[in-house]
Amino acid sequence: MSELFAAIDLGASSGRVIAGLISESSIELVEIHRFANEPMQKSNSLYWDIDALKTEISKGLAKLGEFASAGEHEITSIGVDTWAVDYGLLDDSGQLIDGVRHYRDERNALGVALVEQLISPEKLYEANGLQFLQFNTIYQLAAEQTQAPTNIVRAVKMVMVPDLFNHWLTGKAVTERTNASTTGLLDLHTHEWNWELIDLLGLNRRIFSKLVSPGEVIGDLLPDFKSHPGFAHTVVTATPSHDTAAAIAGTPLESNSTAYLSSGTWSLLGLELDEPNNTAAARNENFTNELGAENKIRFLKNLSGLWLLQQSMIEFTRNDPGIELTSLLRDAAIVKSNARIQVTDDEFATLGDMPAKIQTACARRGLTVPGTPAEVVRCILDSLADAYAEATAALEAVSGVKIKSLQIVGGGSQNDLLSQLTADRTGRPVSAGPVEATALGNLLTQASASGAIAKGLAHQRRLIRQNFSPKKFQPAL
């Protein structure tokens, strides 16, 4: 008998409410509601539109209640996963102070400078094991403390974005560990708040809420959301709430020698380890140690991903509303060009005319300048595949693990051309899928916690393999 679970899965460009009917032998996913997630400008700063997201999630939950009623199901649990690093500050009435800044906001450079006055990058990496990214929460908080100190003073709790929605659903303010591990303020070894580092930054300890792990019940769903009988006994369960942690929990890794590539707005390429690796070599190669399900270490490199393609498509459709990605990918497959960019360059991390940025970068490097949309797409995919090959070689060298294959999950796993180019450039076989790895990691964590399926990450992955068949790509000889 299947039980009904729900995943609220918020990505950097879109969100979904997904229902999962799960038993010990089967997984059925149903997309209940999909919506856009777009940043907004306010006072020359970039924010997430949290109110719009709450409105869309409410619509999704109403549709979920109808779906449950139609199938005579009760909704056992709801879990939330989102992007990492961004946070909200709550006042003493539980209301959000100011808003939630977008990680692409320009204030982050100030935060980096402020933190580096207090602790060297080497010492910081020893403490938190995080890849240097100027939007890590530690830098955002440092900038906020300088630019808007009254926000910090008023704050009673800081919650990461998924926990902000958990608070809205339950009234409980907690911080889930996989997302906490992206803040830079979690101890690399104990997985508890690093009070020494927090004190060094001059942050008030009171704002750091209780840490919970994936599978812990956060609380009952508040009465305001129980619009249908199916919600009568629904709880909200902590999932791997960083969407990459959820995606890796939903990746059917074949062995310890299989590297994962979570491919969406960002590309996250790495290995699942039992212990962190914060050696000098790992820091020099800019690898991160983040937490995953069952306290596994997601040892990975954060690379640019389909953001480049997404932003380019905005420009293409502005000029030609009838243009379609499917036809562009077909045309891109036969493009012959040496056009390449460094996908990790800062110029590609901000909003703007992406094709123009790519053309300028190619011209600056003395390479063929892609002119047509298909040529721009091919340049993006070739450049991503090159970055994956370089990161795979570095991952193997730093970890000491001989990488035999790659598993691509997420939206990018549907891009056959990118999968084939990745196999060709890395020289390793690639398995692509499942597309819904993030939702699967979220839902199966809930199912395991509730007793609907046997406990354990290994069991969850076996269940995924039984229900989803990946597409295979062999490197060209």
- The CATH code that applies to domain 253-433 is 3.30.420.40
SS3 176: strand
pLDDT digits (tens, 9 = 90+) for 432-457: 999 999 999 999 999 999 999 999 99
243 is catalytic: yes
Give the pLDDT of residue 1: 74
Q: What is the DSSP string of 309-343?
A: HHHHHHHHHHH-TT--HHHHHHHHTT--------T
Quote the pTM value.
0.92
Q: Which helix (H) or strand (E) holds 76?
A: strand 75-81
d(CA 271, CA 298): 6
CATH class of 3-241: alpha beta
Residue with tokens 């508890």: 192
pLDDT surpassing 80 at residue 51: yes
- DSSP 8-state secondary structure symbol assigned to residue 206: G
CB contact at 8 A, 276 and 289: yes
Share of the chain above pLDDT 90, in %: 90
Per-residue pLDDT tens over the stretch 118-166? 999 999 999 999 999 899 999 999 999 999 999 999 999 999 999 999 9
Contact 93, 250 (CB under 8 A): no
Residues of the chain with CATH 3.30.420.40: 3-241, 253-433
Read off the pLDDT of residues 159-171 as tens digits, 9 standing for 90 and up.
999 999 999 999 9
Convert the pLDDT of each residue in 213-270 to its tens digit: 999 999 999 999 998 999 999 999 999 999 999 999 999 998 999 999 999 888 999 9
Count of positions (residues) in the chain: 477
SS3 of residue 185 by DSSP? coil
Cα 318 to Cα 341: distance, rounded to the nearest angstrom: 23
Beta carbons within 8 Å of 352's beta carbon, 6+ residues apart: 311
Q: Which of 49, 243, 382, 386 is catalytic?
A: 243
Distance CA 331, CA 109 (A): 39
* Separation between Cα atoms, residue 386 and residue 390, nearest integer Å: 6
Three-state SS for 318?
Answer: helix
Handedness of CA 420, 26, 70, 8 (dihedral sign): negative
Amino acid (one-letter) located at 174: V
Q: Which residues pair with 235 in a beta bridge?
A: 77, 220
266 contacts 219 by C-beta, under 8 angstroms: no
Model pLDDT, residue 113: 95
Chain CA centroid to CA 104, Å: 14
Euclidean distance between CA atoms 131 and 465, whole angstroms: 31
Q: Are 437 and 247 in contact (CB under 8 A)?
A: yes
Q: How confident is the model at residue 192 (pLDDT cuts 50, 70, 90)?
A: very high
Q: What is the mean pLDDT of the chain?
A: 95
CB contact at 8 A, 49 and 40: yes
Task: Judge whether residue 462 has pLDDT over 80.
Answer: yes
Sorted by sequence, the CB contacts under 8 Å of residue 338 that are 6+ apart come out as 367, 368
pLDDT in tens, 260-299: 999 988 899 999 999 999 999 999 999 999 999 999 999 9
Kindly tell me if the per-residue pLDDT of 367 is higher than 90: yes
Rounded distance between C-alpha atoms, residue 410 and residue 437, angstroms: 6
Instruction: Tell me 371's DSSP state.
Output: -
Phi, psi of 159, deg, nearest 5: -130, 140
Bond from prior residue into 475 cis (ω within 30 degrees of 0) = no
Q: Please state, in angstroms and rounded to a whole number, the distance separating the CA atoms of residues 474 and 430.
A: 7
Residue closest to 169 by CA, chosen among 243, 220, 115, 122: 220
- CB 383 within 8 Å of CB 340: yes
| Cα separation, 213 vs 310, whole angstroms | 33
